[in-house]
Amino acid sequence: MGYESAECGVLLVSDRRIAELNRTFRKVAAPTDVLAFSMQEGQRVQGSPNLLGDVVISAERALSQAMDRGHSLERELSFLLVHGLLHLLGWDDTTKADRRRMLQAQEKILKKILPEGLESNRPPRISGSRTAR
pLDDT digits (tens, 9 = 90+) for 26-75: 999 999 999 999 987 665 556 666 889 999 999 999 999 999 999 899 99
Q: Which pLDDT value is given to residue 59?
A: 97
Which CATH class name applies to 7-132?
alpha beta
Domain ranges of the chain: 7-132
pLDDT digits (tens, 9 = 90+) for 79-121: 999 999 999 999 999 999 999 999 999 989 998 888 765 555 5
Burial class (CB in 10 A: 0-12, 13-18, 19+), 12: middle
Rounded CA separation 130/25 (Å): 10
8 A C-beta contact, residue 102 and residue 129: no
Please name the amino acid found at residue 1: M
State how far the alpha carbon of 57 is from the alpha carbons of 32, 33, 80, 83, in Å: 8, 6, 7, 10
CA atoms within 13 A on the CB side of 1: 15
Q: Which pLDDT value is given to residue 75?
A: 92
